[in-house]
């Protein structure tokens, strides 16, 4: 646009050219300027039909435009055509040249001239650019203060919405000058959000502006799109604007009195609700003193008292004020009103851990036994919430002091049948559970699942055994018998759950308290069957037998599950040597027992289980179980022994003859093997005299300092003296292969597993291979020579010898030969 803006000298030169030859005609600078403006405007409009105010602002800042307007003193603008666009009039309004604007207006320029539908009128331009003197001139010359801008706003709305510093002076000018011609000035026009000028004045906390609007008939009860009145808006402000609200009460015209103090917005919130949500204590007090109803409920059924209790800052002063200032008209304050979820203020105070508010409600007479939609009593909520104080005792104490005739229902049940004691135990609130028991909670009540509190204790691994003991002690002191054999809907007793969770301490505690060790669940499983069907014992079997023996109870060892399996069969199938040993010690019948063969392959799939720890557990478990059977006089058949050997072959547990030399001379392996101990956890354990005596009694020398590097070259007999079968899983779980690459790590694992398995199972393979080897050579060498020969073989060689013997002997003769 710069190239279209001429200087005054250019305009005068053009005028001289036009009047050349006519000496009586003098060039008129005003007409020349108008011609120029028309020309430029037409070009601009053609280039950009959707001309906006922003386009004009760019040109208005040009210094040459300002210089041009400086020379307007002698302009004659009487020849203005209404059909032409005159942008310099707009420019003068924007840059604040009141003298130029006045010249335009004096010449007959329309103060409400609309150049384009996308451009604001002159008065709005003056308001937007804060040109108050220009706006004053426009108003004096008849500018309409009711004309809307392109956004549909009146000048008064723009002033109140922008919240400028001198908004009061602006609004006052509009009322004084605008009312002179356009009585009365509109004060209730709404924005797209439904806000009136008064709403905006209050939003920006412009008290003098709001007061001016009220004096000019602004209605404080008009609502916006959210159905908020002026009082709602003040109460929603982040700060406690007591003075602003007080002014509303004082200045509201009698026409609108009384203020709709209990008006409810689209959410049903009254101004009192809004003030309490923000915690405005002075403002809430003002509302209450002016008649606000403290019992009105919002859309969710919450009263102002609910609102206070939902705050998580334990503001008892706010609640106390509500009690004190509630108008006599609305007394007594409804303290037990329930919202749409059935919650009373007491429920909400407890949910938000508002201790002081809770005490205030209870002392004011709140009912401690009302239930919500989930049938939860306040006591249920306490037991599900973390408190820094023993809220149970405090709750009962205050309830009793406030109303001695009202008894708190300590055994009330929610919709799931849970009592407060159930919930306290489920959330590991041992302190609350103890308090409930001391007060008299029933320890034998069942919930919808048939679970008693004792079921929950035994099922929850986070509840320590010390509380279990305290549980029985408190009930004993109350002369309350705990039913330890109650079954839930799945047929589980607390003992079943303790054993399933592997909790040896609770298992012992329950047995000593009289739990029946032979009860079966819905699937027919007794505690012993559950132990035998686990893949880890943890000493549960010994505990079950020892405590039962102490109490004179007999554990049934020949019961069967729904598949017809006895505890011994399950223990063998799961390779639990300690459990097998315990069952055999208690008289398990081996006369008709058939050792599982193919079942090992089915249960321990070699394709799915390849971990180092699993392989060691498998190898050690197999050999240990066989040893237990042999110690009890069980005679294995060769086919059973071959099935065990086949497991070693399938899992790759045989050590190759070259492995020892290969890895023992490997520098990286040697470095790792020297620092890796076989039984590092036993160092502290051996300091215990009882464990040391037990190790000496078993004649098994367990040496924690034994390294993998030291173990490798040891002969099987020497290794057997240092290791026990059951230690396989222990030292497998402690090996650290960090710092080695993945291929190297796998090689280390395979080598270590094979070496340990080779040594621990050597006796088993050697025993069976000796007879087979003697048969293969047709007994031509003394047995002593056979001993010497097979000592040089690996376990894999010994397995092949047994296989060769199996092939040579006809199948129909095998069993008869082994029997003889």
Least confident of 49-53, 224-228, 661-665: 49-53
d(CA 9, CA 67): 12
Specify the pLDDT at position 602: 59
In the predicted model, is pLDDT for residue 275 greater than 90?
yes
In the predicted model, is pLDDT for residue 439 greater than 50?
yes
Cα–chain center distance at 252: 49
In the predicted model, is pLDDT for residue 42 greater than 50?
no
d(CA 89, CA 122): 8
Specify the pLDDT at position 41: 41
* C-beta of residue 594 within 8 angstroms of C-beta of residue 731: no
Specify the pLDDT at position 467: 94
Helix (H, G, I), strand (E, B) or coil at 707: strand
The residues near 27 (Cβ < 8 Å, ≥ 6 apart) are 12, 14, 15, 16, 18, 19
Q: Band the pLDDT of 257: cuts 50, 70, 90.
A: low
CB atoms within 10 A of CB 63: 7
What are the structure tokens assigned to 720, written together?
């057997």
Least confident of 197-211, 235-249, 718-732: 718-732
238-247: per-residue pLDDT in tens?
999 999 999 9
318-346: per-residue pLDDT in tens?
999 999 998 666 667 899 999 999 999 99
* C-beta of residue 125 within 8 angstroms of C-beta of residue 163: no
The residues near 198 (Cβ < 8 Å, ≥ 6 apart) are 160, 187, 210, 213, 214, 218, 219, 220, 222, 230
Alpha helices in 632-741 (DSSP H): 638-650, 659-664, 667-675, 682-685, 689-697, 708-711, 716-722, 728-734
In the predicted model, is pLDDT for residue 508 greater than 70?
yes
Mean pLDDT calculated for residue range 378-388? 87
Mean pLDDT calculated for residue range 538-547? 91
In the predicted model, is pLDDT for residue 475 greater than 80?
yes
* C-beta of residue 467 within 8 angstroms of C-beta of residue 430: yes
Least confident of 416-430, 646-660, 681-695, 776-790: 681-695
In the predicted model, is pLDDT for residue 412 greater than 90?
yes
Does 32 or 203 have the greater pLDDT score? 203
Nearest to 465 by CA among 437, 416, 498: 498
Q: Band the pLDDT of 19: cuts 50, 70, 90.
A: very low
Nearest to 370 by CA among 417, 419, 408, 333: 408
Provide φ and ψ at 677, rounded to 5°. Answer: -95, 150
Does 576 or 40 have the greater pLDDT score? 576
Mean pLDDT calculated for residue range 115-138? 85
What are the structure tokens assigned to 711, written together?
């173990």
d(CA 74, CA 72): 6
Specify the pLDDT at position 84: 44
Q: Band the pLDDT of 535: cuts 50, 70, 90.
A: confident
DSSP string, 363-397: HTT--TT---TT---HHHHHHTS--SS-HHHHHHH
* CATH code assigned to 1-143: 1.25.40
Specify the pLDDT at position 16: 46
Rounded CA Rg of the chain = 48
In the predicted model, is pLDDT for residue 76 greater than 60?
no
502: left (phi over 0), alpha (psi -120 to 50) or beta: left
689-705: per-residue pLDDT in tens?
444 444 444 444 444 56
d(CA 758, CA 641): 16
* C-beta of residue 223 within 8 angstroms of C-beta of residue 272: no
CATH 1.25.40.20 domain range(s) in the chain: 420-616
In the predicted model, is pLDDT for residue 300 greater than 80?
yes
What are the structure tokens assigned to 532, written together?
């035998």
Which position has the token pair 């956004």? Answer: 151
Helix, strand, coil tally for the chain in percent (to 5):
55, 0, 45
d(CA 421, CA 442): 8
* C-beta of residue 362 within 8 angstroms of C-beta of residue 331: no
In the predicted model, is pLDDT for residue 83 greater than 80?
no
* C-beta of residue 29 within 8 angstroms of C-beta of residue 15: yes
User: For the chain, what is the mean pLDDT?
Assistant: 80
Give the rounded percent of residues in the chain with a pLDDT score beyond 90: 38
217-231, 644-658, 741-755, 790-804: range with highest mean pLDDT = 217-231
Cis amide leading into 184 (omega within 30): yes
Cα four-point dihedral sign 642, 647, 650, 652: negative
Least confident of 52-56, 127-131, 296-300: 52-56
d(CA 774, CA 303): 96
CA 310 vs CA 304, 407, 532: distances in Å: 10, 26, 52
CB atoms within 10 A of CB 61: 12
Q: How many residues does the chain have?
A: 820
Which position has the token pair 């009061």? Answer: 168
Specify the pLDDT at position 543: 94
Nearest to 633 by CA among 588, 596, 576, 575: 588
Nearest to 125 by CA among 116, 532, 134: 134
Q: Band the pLDDT of 87: cuts 50, 70, 90.
A: low
In the predicted model, is pLDDT for residue 123 greater than 50?
yes
Helix (H, G, I), strand (E, B) or coil at 677: strand
Least confident of 144-153, 288-297, 713-722: 713-722
DSSP string, 176-225: IIITTTSSSPP-----TT---HHHHHHHTT-HHHHHHHHHTT--TT---T
Residue 238 DSSP one-character state: S
The residues near 96 (Cβ < 8 Å, ≥ 6 apart) are 129, 131, 133, 134
Give the rounded percent of residues in the chain with a pLDDT score beyond 70: 75
In the predicted model, is pLDDT for residue 372 greater than 80?
yes
d(CA 263, CA 222): 10
d(CA 137, CA 8): 27
* C-beta of residue 438 within 8 angstroms of C-beta of residue 483: no
Specify the pLDDT at position 459: 93
12-16, 28-32, 157-161, 747-751: range with highest mean pLDDT = 157-161
108: left (phi over 0), alpha (psi -120 to 50) or beta: left
Q: Band the pLDDT of 21: cuts 50, 70, 90.
A: very low
Nearest to 745 by CA among 753, 733, 737: 737
Fold for 420-616, please state it: 1.25.40
What is the reported pTM? 0.76
Specify the pLDDT at position 113: 80
d(CA 394, CA 458): 28
CB atoms within 10 A of CB 667: 7
DSSP string, 482-547: --TT---TTS--HHHHHHHTT-HHHHHHHHHTT--TT---TTS--HHHHHHTSS--TTHHHHHHHH
HSE toward the beta carbon, residue 716, CA cutoff 13 A: 20
348-367: per-residue pLDDT in tens?
999 999 999 999 999 999 99
Provide φ and ψ at 263, rounded to 5°. Answer: -60, 145
What are the structure tokens assigned to 235, written together?
């109460």
d(CA 523, CA 791): 50
Specify the pLDDT at position 695: 44
Helix (H, G, I), strand (E, B) or coil at 433: helix
């Amino acid at each position: 646009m710069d190239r279209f803006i001429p200087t005054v000298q250019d305009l005068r030169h053009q005028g001289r050219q036009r009047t050349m030859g006519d000496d009586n005609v003098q060039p008129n600078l005003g007409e020349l300027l108008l011609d120029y403006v028309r020309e430029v405007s037409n070009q601009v409009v053609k280039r950009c039909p959707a001309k906006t105010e922003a386009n004009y602002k760019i040109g208005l800042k040009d210094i040459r435009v300002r210089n041009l307007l400086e020379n307007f003193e002698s302009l004659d603008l009487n020849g203005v055509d209404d059909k032409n666009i005159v942008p310099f009039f707009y420019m003068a309004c924007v840059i604040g040249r009141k003298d130029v604007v006045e010249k335009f207006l004096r010449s007959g320029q329309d103060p409400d001239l609309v150049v384009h539908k996308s451009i604001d009128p002159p008065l709005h331009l003056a308001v937007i650019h804060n040109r108050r003197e220009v706006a004053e001139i426009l108003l004096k010359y008849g500018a309409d203060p009711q004309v809307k801008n392109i956004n549909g706003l009146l000048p008064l709305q723009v002033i109140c919405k922008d919240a400028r510093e001198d908004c009061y002076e602006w609004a006052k000018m509009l009322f004084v000058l605008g009312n002179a011609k356009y009585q009365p000035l509109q004060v209730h026009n709404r924005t797209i959000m439904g806000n009136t000028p008064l709403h905006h004045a209050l939003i920006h906390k412009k008290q003098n502006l709001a007061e001016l609007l009220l004096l000019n008939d602004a209605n404080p009860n008009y609502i916006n799109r959210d159905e908020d009145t002026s009082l709602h808006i003040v109460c929603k402000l982040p700060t406690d604007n007591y003075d602003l609200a007080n002014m509303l009460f004082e200045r509201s015209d009698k026409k609108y009195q009384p203020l709709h103090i209990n008006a409810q917005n689209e959410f049903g919130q009254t101004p009192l609700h809004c003030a309490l949500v923000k915690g405005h204590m002075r403002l809430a007090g003002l509302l209450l003193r002016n008649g606000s109803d403290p019992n009105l409920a919002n859309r969710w059924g919450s009263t102002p008292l609910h609102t206070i209790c939902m705050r998580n800052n334990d503001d008892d002063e706010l609640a106390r004020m509500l009690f004190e200032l509630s108008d006599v008209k609305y007394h007594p304050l409804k303290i037990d009103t329930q919202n749409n979820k059935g919650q009373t203020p007491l429920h909400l105070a407890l949910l938000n851990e508002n201790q002081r508010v809770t005490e205030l409600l209870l002392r004011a007479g709140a009912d401690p036994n009302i239930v919500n939609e989930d049938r939860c009593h306040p006591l249920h909520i306490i037991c599900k919430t973390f408190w820094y104080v023993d809220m149970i005792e405090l709750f009962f104490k205050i309830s009793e002091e406030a109303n001695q005739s009202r008894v708190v229902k300590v055994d009330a049940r929610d919709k799931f049948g849970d009592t407060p004691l159930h919930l306290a135990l489920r959330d590991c609130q041992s302190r609350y559970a103890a308090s409930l028991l001391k007060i008299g909670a029933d320890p034998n009540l069942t919930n919808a699942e048939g679970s008693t509190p004792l079921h929950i204790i035994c099922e929850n691994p986070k509840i320590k055994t010390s509380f279990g003991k305290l549980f029985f002690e408190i009930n004993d002191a109350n002369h309350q018998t705990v039913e330890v054999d109650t079954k839930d809907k799945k047929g589980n007793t607390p003992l079943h759950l303790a054993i399933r969770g592997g909790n040896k301490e609770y298992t012992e505690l329950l047995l000593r308290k009289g739990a029946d060790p032979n009860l079966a669940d819905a699937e027919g499983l007794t505690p012993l069957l559950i132990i035998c069907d686990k893949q880890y014992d943890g000493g549960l079997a010994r505990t079950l037998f020892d405590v039962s023996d102490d109490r004179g109870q007999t554990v049934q060892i020949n019961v069967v599950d729904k598949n017809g399996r006895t505890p011994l069969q399950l223990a063998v199938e799961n390779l639990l040597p300690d459990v097998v040993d315990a069952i055999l010690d208690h008289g398990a019948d081996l006369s008709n027992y058939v050792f599982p063969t193919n079942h090992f392959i089915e249960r321990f799939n070699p394709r799915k289980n390849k971990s180092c720890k699993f392989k060691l557990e498998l190898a050690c478990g197999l050999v240990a179980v066989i040893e237990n059977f042999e110690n009890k006089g069980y005679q294995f058949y060769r086919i059973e022994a071959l099935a065990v050997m086949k497991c070693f072959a399938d899992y790759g547990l045989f050590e190759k003859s070259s492995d020892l030399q290969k890895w023992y001379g490997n520098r990286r392996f040697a470095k790792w093997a020297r620092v890796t101990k076989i039984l590092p956890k036993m160092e502290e354990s051996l300091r215990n005299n009882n464990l040391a005596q037990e190790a000496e009694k078993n004649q098994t020398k367990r040496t924690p300092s034994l390294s993998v590097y030291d173990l490798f070259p040891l002969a099987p007999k020497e290794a057997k003296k240092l290791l026990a079968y059951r230690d396989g899983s222990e030292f497998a779980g402690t090996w650290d292969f960090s710092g080695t690459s993945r291929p190297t790590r796998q090689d280390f694992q395979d080598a270590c597993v094979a070496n340990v398995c080779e040594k621990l199972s050597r006796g088993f393979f050697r025993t069976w291979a000796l007879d087979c080897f003697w048969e293969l050579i047709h007994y031509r060498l003394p047995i002593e020579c056979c001993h010497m020969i097979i000592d040089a073989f690996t376990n894999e060689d010994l397995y092949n010898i047994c296989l060769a013997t199996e092939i040579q002997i006809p199948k129909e003769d095998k069993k008869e030969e082994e029997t003889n």
